[in-house]
Chain A
Amino acid sequence: MTTLMRLHHVNYQVGDKLILNDINLTVPAQAQLTVTGPSGGGKSTLLRVMAGMISKTSGDLQFEGQPIESYEPTAYRRQVSYCFQQPTLFGQTVADNLAFPYQIRKLPMDQRHVEAALEYVGLSANLLTEAIDDLSGGERQRVALIRNILFLPKILLLDEVTAGLDADNKAIIHRWLTHLNRDRQVTTIMITHDAEEIQAAQQLVRVTDGQLEVPA
């Protein structure tokens, strides 16, 4: 199986504090990786480094065989897309949010594609005109996630995106992520504390005190 991303002796340091300590990880194409570990252990930092949102202090990070530094940052983030735990929605309506990925690519919004994406996560097309303040927590998270996949990335980095959601919302998101992974060849790397999600993990790693370990 081809390697999509590879981290080799990656460190991330703020002042004297080593937040990520000698991380070595190989992510094959179409993998479904689950990252767990105690709060403050460095999981989010690891995903943010992978997403190019912050830069590693030392070590080597390669995406599709090329060092991350060789990519134009904006183009890279369209390939390796990061989803936040508590996302902020933009503008006034759901449509403002789903038009954004098109806007930054200087394209008109593809109404049918957007509606299909909404439907896939159990949301009605009528929601497009809905004010973002009127959405429930689960709806907000689903709208935010759709922003990341209207143009499919190669890797989707998910930072506790199901935390705080009820069982129904979680199930919808799990089904959707499995679909993206199996049918659309999107590699997913998901941080979670959820026992069921850890149980169901295909490939599990744990980040503790900035160090990465693969549980037996």
Chain B
Amino acid sequence: MNLAVNNTSLFLAAFLVLVALAISLWQQLGLDRDIVIGVVRAVIQLFVVGYVLKYIFRVNHFWLTLAMIMFIVFNAAWNAKKRGAGIDHALPISFVAIFVSTGVTLSVLVLSGAIKFIPSQMIPISGMIASNAMVAIGLAYRSLKTQFHDQRQGVLERLALGAGLMDASIAIVREAIRTGMAPTIDSAKTVGLVSLPGMMSGLIFAGVDPVRAIKYQIMVTFMLMSATSLGAIIACYLAYRNFYNAQKQLK
């Protein structure tokens, strides 16, 4: 192991926060309070997570691992819901979408032998999948809301012609799914050229041969494709009906 972060070096690195604080004060950005709160929260959250994970990895218990995954999925759904403000039932919809996309993707990874069902592998991978699905769903929600607003007239005309809700919304739903998936596809195209992504960087940092590290990154690329597409499609198909009332009128 060639990692050398100890408490002293962390303490010294904390001076980097002062750079952000100084810029905020100097440019009167009014962010100083948020910076302090953000940093304190990050430190506390990460310490707690560090100890919790250490415990979970040590006991290596099936149900405890599953509970931790559910906790991650729920938090991701809660965050995606915020992007879906104004869409009815955004929390249960987000939960179902993230649960299914994470569940399917994890199952394929475990059954194919890419990862083992042990907490030190399942939990970080679940976090990556759920957070990417969360971002995709959040983008898809925003796209649904913008389009239903901007294309209101077109939707009304389709309804007036006797279109069902699916036929009236399909163009909007497809565009929202595309919007949700776009960042994953874009980053897949530039992976390794623009940035060395987290999984690969982490392994290289820990001293793993880069040729071995990229294999994990390739796996991550595959799994994020499935997670974001499943998450976005499920969320959009469950959410679009909420833009209409029971009389199939646009709200």
Contact = CB atoms under 8 A, between A and B. Distances in A.
> How large, as a class, is the contact surface on chain B?
10 to 19
B100 interface: no
B249 A75 contact: no
- Give the top 6 A-B pairs by smallest Cβ distance, nearest first: A78-B162, A73-B248, A82-B160, A77-B162, A88-B154, A104-B163
B158 A100 contact: yes
B154 A74 contact: no
A74 B158 CA distance: 10
B249 A73 contact: yes
Contacts of B248: 73-74
A214 B140 CA distance: 50
The dominant DSSP class at the B interface is helix
Interface in A82-128: 82-84, 87-88, 90, 100-101, 103-104
Contact of A104 (B156, B161, B171): B161
Contacts of B157: 84, 87-88, 90, 144
Contact of A77 (B153, B160, B171): B160
> How large, as a class, is the contact surface on chain A?
20 to 34
Interface of B: 153-154, 156-164, 167, 171, 247-249
Interface of A: 51-55, 73-75, 77-78, 81-84, 87-88, 90, 100-101, 103-104, 144, 147-148, 151
A90 B249 contact: no
Given A51-B160, A148-B161, 10 more contacts: A53-B249, A73-B247, A74-B248, A77-B160, A77-B162, A84-B160, A90-B158, A104-B161, A104-B163, A104-B167
29 contacts: A52-B247, A52-B249, A53-B159, A53-B160, A53-B249, A54-B249, A55-B247, A73-B247, A73-B248, A73-B249, A74-B248, A77-B161, A81-B161, A81-B162, A83-B160, A84-B156, A88-B153, A90-B154, A90-B158, A90-B171, A100-B163, A101-B161, A101-B162, A103-B167, A104-B162, A104-B164, A147-B161, A148-B160, A148-B161
A156 to B, nearest CB: 11
A167 B110 CA distance: 71
A33 B158 CA distance: 24
Contacts of B171: 90
Contacts of A51: 160
A192 B69 CA distance: 62
A152 B158 CA distance: 16
Contacts of B167: 103-104
B168 to A, nearest CB: 9
Contacts of A84: 153, 156-157, 160
Q: Interface centre among B153, B162, B164, B247, by most A CB within 10 Å?
A: B162
A56 to B, nearest CB: 11
Contacts of B160: 51, 53, 77, 81-84, 148
A54 B59 CA distance: 60
